[in-house]
Structure 1
Amino acid sequence: MIITSIFLFSTLFIFTGSAKVAASTDETQLLEQLFLDLTIDEVVNRLRGLTVNEPWATEYVTAIREKRFGDAIWARHHVTGAVQNGTFSEVNQTIFQAIENDAIGYRTYYPEQYSEALAIYANTSNADTRTDILNLISNVKAETVSKMEKRVTYGIKCSADHLAYRSSCYRLLELMSQAKTYIGNTRRVYTYMSCNLRVGPYGGGTPDVTHHTAHLVARLIEEQCSRCPAHCDAVKVSGFSPRNSGHRKICLSSKDDGCR
């Protein structure tokens, strides 16, 4: 464990240079917005429709407070119950695969936020038992933007993965704010039952979006991406509006993390 921690610190220090990022002590604010994208306050107080899975919610909060950032990221992926035994059962994807894929996107599109996150992770506690996750995040290689954008098209794109009940998404759209105020560095806009409305990271040269715009885009996703898979028990929906020069990525699905 000591050897692993030394390797992690060396890797992160090389990447971030002498930059020092102070971790926020305000539990209503995100420590960093990439992988620790739920504030302690919203987990503890179940804000904006969030439902949590114990003991992972408590572990997430405790790990952040104790600066065990690898443990916190691992717990984050279990907080809402989408992961069982380290795997997203719906899409047969492991936590490590999901983290690696997201890290590549963050390093490619959001290098400043990625660097800031690594600087925070460099100060993880010696008691952290999941420094392997931090090593994974720090060692990914950026892809060219053109290669990343081949994965998506602009506009609304529907997905067969992470399907949420349409009824939950419809109710989410009724309950969420439609104010013309910018979302800022919040990633989880609103949650209702199985449906999550999320946005990509804030910054990196990408214009922010308002709650009003996110609502309009989510409404289009709900209308265009509703489907009933074989042997389904109800109509479901999953889709997103890819990041482009005009806005952050906007995702409506059952997935409770990511959206990069």
Structure 2
Amino acid sequence: MSTALEISNVDLSLGGRPILSDLQLSVRTGRVHALLGRNGAGKSTTFKAALGRLPIDAGSIRLLDGDPQETRYKVGSSINDPALYPHLSAADNLRVHCLALGLPRTEIARVLHRVGLTDTGRKAVRGFSTGMKARLALAIALLGSPELLILDEPQNGLDPQGIRDLRDMFREYTSHGGTIIISSHQLGEVAKMADDVTVIGGTPTTTVFSGTLEELTRDGDIESRFLDLTDRTA
């Protein structure tokens, strides 16, 4: 099976401090892959490195079978807090991104419908709930039908219906050949969404497990296995 992202033996430092050490991450095409780690473990840093936003000190990164600087435009992402314009509506926020990406305005209605924000009208984003902002961030990531989605804590702020909708969207997306990488602390939801899992931990951060969800949970539930793996490297 081909890979959408291949991170091999990566070291990365910020301000002279080692953050990642010999990190390995292999994401198979057409799958949902969860990157798990404790707070501050370097998940967002890993995502930014994968997209070519942070330079690495050693190792290699292949994104969609190419250099991240050249292929990251085929990726939809939402990392940390998304850049939203609070005084604009959801549609106008998307219009700004369409202009920047050279995409047709027809994308706006498509992604708004996909994330359930069609009825927000002219309401400014400053009045959105946390869950509505999470849906808008996902809509931005979906613009242009990217081959790969990289989503940092996509369930944050969503109510139970929103989480179910997200799960359904993931299934549809991968059924058409798309690939999704998520980070999440909601391990119960990871168990429902993910096909494959990588767990990172330690100081500096390295890979402590990589395999299928089935392999991870063979000797216990996802929470106990995660805590056991990250306790060993704490």
TM-score band by shorter chain is: under 0.3
Which of structures 1 and 2 has the larger relative contact order (alpha carbons within 8 angstroms, sep 6+)?
2
**Structure showing the higher strand proportion among its residues:** 2
